Amino acid sequence: MTLSILLYAGVVLVLFLAWINGANNAGNVIGVAVGARSISVKRALLLAFIFEITGAVLLGHYISTTIMRGIIDLRELSGDILVAGVIIVAFSAVLWMFIATLIRVPLSITQAVVGGITGFGLIALGVNEISWWRLLVIISSWPITLLVAVLLSLLSHRVLSKLTSHTKNTRNLLVLFSTLLYTCIVITLLLVIGGISSEIHGLLYYSLLTPLLLVIPYTVILEGITRRDYYEAKHLLYNHLLLVTSSLAAFSHGAHDVGVSAGLLQLLVEEIIGSEGSVVTGVSRIMLLVSGFTIALGILSWGYRVLGTLGEKITPLTPESGFTAQLSSALTILLVTRLGLPSSTTLAITGAVIGVGLSRGRGYVSYKTILRILTTWILSFPLTLAFSITMTILFTRVA
């Protein structure tokens, strides 16, 4: 098989990796909103489609750089070995992701790809060419992501419950709503604009003042449609907040997970256009857009399979608790994305939902579902590592 055929086959495989990533991780993005009965599955999938692409294009370059250069040095690879490596890594991750999606378990694509890259690097380059310190930092970030999400969600839910208990009328609820909405947008803009520009004054100006243009008219509109009944108003406002944080969750997922497929796709495209001998230092916006769009298609077309696992089976969710879980998860993922750490959106949302359940009491948490998710998570890295090593050994013998 010629190198050109392998190149185009690799492109198709990487795009399929992006698609299956979206199909499997839809629960990370919109499972909470669907589980809390705040939005229909169809509308939730469409919402995720839009914000996945946006997050991918704006912040996807952080994880892409780590995938392309953080674990192994691509300058040590020649064209045919590089292409074979991308195919081996992508195939290892696709196989494991496909199995997880069939059994309806959300899985971290980054753990599978990191395992594949490490296995390939060990055989193709040798032990000394692996950036072991960087790999250790990446692996360490996985349980830390889970714990941070649990703690942030648990504390946020308790604080929010106390604040809500002190709101005695709909006007107080609207004040709380506008404050929470403003805070969500400000934090998001600080992370997003900070990833695009390093100009401090502009960062603070746009992050602190721009949200007012949305929050003020949004609050006025809701004040006009909010009914006098306190509990109906509370349910309505938290539904709106949950939709906002679901959009933020889709944005953060796109920003984080697109780097896996976009980084691999960039390498293949560099080979196709004949940039032999060049050192890849980043990923183009086009690769981020294509990969983000493909992930979003996966969510839209097959994402319904894993929705119920996170949104309903770990703990019962309401719009209020769902809002807390989605916000905690999204902020955790945006943070690790800015640090360039291929962590796990699955662990973040799982930890956030667990935190909400623990805040309400241990009896509200399904430990059987958690064990099922964590077992799959623990197996991801060693299984894809072993599979990648096996395929690389077979490749080197044939070559």
Residue 45 lies in domain? 3-171+228-398
Residue 385 is assigned to a structural domain of this protein = yes
Which two tokens mark 159? 């604080």
> Would the CA dihedral through 128, 134, 137, 141 be positive or negative?
negative
From residue 273, give the alpha-carbon distance in Å to each of 8, 78, 256, 279. 12, 15, 27, 14
Residue 356 is assigned to a structural domain of this protein = yes
Residue 138 is assigned to a structural domain of this protein = yes
Q: What pLDDT is stored for residue 91 in this prediction?
A: 94
What is the SS3 assignment for 168?
coil
The secondary structure of 228-268 as a DSSP string is S-HHHHHHHHHHHHHHHHHHHHHHHHHHHHHHHHHHHHHHH
Q: What is the pLDDT along the chain (399 residues), one digit of tens a residue?
A: 566 788 889 999 999 999 988 888 876 777 777 777 778 777 888 888 899 999 999 888 888 888 877 888 765 676 788 889 999 999 999 988 888 777 777 778 888 999 999 999 999 888 988 999 999 999 999 999 999 999 999 999 999 988 888 887 888 888 899 999 998 888 888 777 765 555 666 666 777 888 888 888 988 888 777 666 778 888 888 888 888 888 898 999 999 999 889 989 988 888 887 654 444 456 888 999 999 999 988 888 877 666 655 555 677 788 888 899 889 999 999 888 888 888 888 889 889 988 998 988 877 788 888 888 788 888 889 999 999 999 999 988 876
The model's pTM is 0.88
CB-CB contact of 260 with 94 (8 Å): no
- Tell me how far apart the terminal alpha carbons of the chain are, to the nearest angstrom: 11
Residue 188 is assigned to a structural domain of this protein = no
E strands within 27-183? none
Residue 184 is assigned to a structural domain of this protein = no
- Half-sphere exposure of residue 170: CA atoms within 13 angstroms, side-chain side: 17
Please tell me the distance from the alpha carbon of residue 45 to that of residue 227, in angstroms, as a whole number: 29
Q: What pLDDT is stored for residue 198 in this prediction?
A: 56
Residue 313 is assigned to a structural domain of this protein = yes
Please tell me the distance from the alpha carbon of residue 353 to that of residue 369, in angstroms, as a whole number: 12
Residue 216 is assigned to a structural domain of this protein = no
Residues 6+ positions from 399 with CB-CB distance below 8 Å: 80, 84
Kindly state the helix (H) or strand (E) to which residue 331 belongs, with its residue range: helix 319-338
Burial 244-254 (b: 16+ CB within 10 A, else e): bbbbbbbbbbb
Domain total in the chain:
1
**Residue 197 C-alpha from the chain's centroid:** 22
Residue 49 is assigned to a structural domain of this protein = yes
CB-CB contact of 285 with 66 (8 Å): no
From residue 51, give the alpha-carbon distance in Å to each of 5, 164, 212, 365. 34, 29, 21, 29
CB-CB contact of 261 with 295 (8 Å): yes
Please tell me the distance from the alpha carbon of residue 334 to that of residue 186, in angstroms, as a whole number: 13
